[in-house]
Chain A
C-alpha cells in the first residue's frame, strides 16, 4: 500500500460516509407511497390509512400499518422484497426485481396536497 492507495481509498470512503450522513440527516416521515411497475405509477396510497392492497394483479401484496408500508407476500422465489421490511421515510424504496415493481415513500411538501410524480 502506497500513499496513492490511501488517498484514493480515503476519498472514496469519505464520499460514501457523507452520502450516508446526508441521507440520514435529511430523513423525513413520509406521507404516501407510490407503486410503480416498469416505471409507470400504478397506485398511490396514504400512509395514514391502514389497509392491505393487491398489487400488479396479485403478484405482490402491500400492507400499510401504523404509518409504515411493507410487502407481505410475493410470487417470486427469493422474497427479497418481503424481507426488505417496513419503510416510512421519504425516499425509502422497496424493490421487487422479478416483477419490476417498486414501492417508494414520498412526503407531501408543506402546503402541497399531492405531488405530481
Chain B
C-alpha cells in the first residue's frame, strides 16, 4: 500500500470515528436501539464509490473496533459488526451489478444494517419475539439510507475534481 493511501484511509477512519462520536451525543429518537442516521456511513458510501470496496471494508471494520473500544462494549461491538457486515456485503454486490443508483444502494445498505442488528438481537437474547420491531426499524432504515445516499451522492459529485491518486 502506498504511503499516500495509508494516510488517506487513516484520515477516513478518523473522520468516521468523529461522526460516530457526534452521533452518539444526539439523544435517541426512539427507545429502540438502532434507530439512527448512521453518520459514519457517509464516509463508507464515499469510499465505496471513490476508492474501492476492499478499502471500504477495512475502514468500516477498523472504525467499529476503535469506537467500540473507546465508547462502547462487547454488546455494541457485536451489533455494529453484524449490521456492518450484512450492509457492506449487500451494498458491494448491488454496486457491482451496475443496475442501481447510489441512493438505492445506500437505502438497501440501511435496511440490511437493521436486519443484521435484529438478527444479532434475536441471537443475543435467544428470543425470536425481538423481531417484532423489524418492520418499524426498516422504516427508519429506509429514511436513514435515503439521507445518507443523497448526502454522500453530493460529496461524491463534488469530489470528482479531486485527484485522489491512491493506486
Closest partner residue, chain A, to B103 (CB atom): A1
Alpha-carbon separation in the docked complex, A97 to B75 (Å): 8
Main secondary structure of the interface of A (DSSP, over half): mixed
Residues from chain A with a CB closer than 8 A to the CB of B138 are 16, 19
Give every chain B residue within 8 A of A43 (Cβ-Cβ): none
Q: Is the CB of A4 within 8 A of B100?
A: yes
Q: Does A20 contact B (CB under 8 A)?
A: yes
Q: Are B135 and A84 in contact (CB under 8 A)?
A: no
By the criterion CB–CB under 8 Å, are B135 and A20 in contact?
A: yes
Contacts of B111 in A (CB 8 A): 12
Inter-chain contact A93/B130, CB cutoff 8 Å:
yes
A101 touches B125 (CB 8 A): yes
Interface window among B26-34, B37-45, B48-56: B26-34
Q: Which residue of A lies closest to B78 (CB)?
A: A97
B139, closest chain A residue (CB): A16
For B79, the chain A residues whose CB sits under 8 A away are 97
Whole-angstrom CA separation of A45 from B104 in the bound complex: 45
Once A5-B103, A23-B135 are accepted as A-B contacts, the answer to whether A84 and B32 lie under 8 Å apart by CB is yes
Q: Of all chain B residues, which has the CB nearest A104?
A: B129
Q: Do B126 and A39 touch across chains, with their CB atoms under 8 A apart?
A: yes
A67 to chain B, nearest CB (A): 19
Partner of B101 from A2, A36, A38, A100 at Cβ < 8 Å: A2
When the two chains form their complex, are residues A83 and B104 in contact, meaning their CB atoms are under 8 A apart? no
**Shortest CB–CB separation between residue B90 and chain A, in angstroms?**
12
Given A1-B103, A23-B135, A97-B79: 15 more A-B contacts, CB < 8 Å? A2-B100, A2-B101, A12-B111, A16-B138, A36-B126, A80-B33, A84-B31, A93-B130, A93-B133, A95-B121, A95-B125, A95-B130, A100-B125, A102-B127, A102-B130
A-B contact pairs, 20 of them (CB 8 A): A1-B101, A4-B104, A5-B104, A8-B104, A8-B108, A12-B142, A16-B142, A19-B135, A19-B138, A23-B135, A36-B125, A36-B127, A91-B129, A93-B132, A95-B130, A97-B75, A97-B124, A97-B125, A102-B129, A104-B127
Give B residues with C-beta under 8 Å from A: 28, 31-33, 75, 79, 99-101, 103-104, 107-108, 111, 121, 124-127, 129-130, 132-136, 138-139, 142
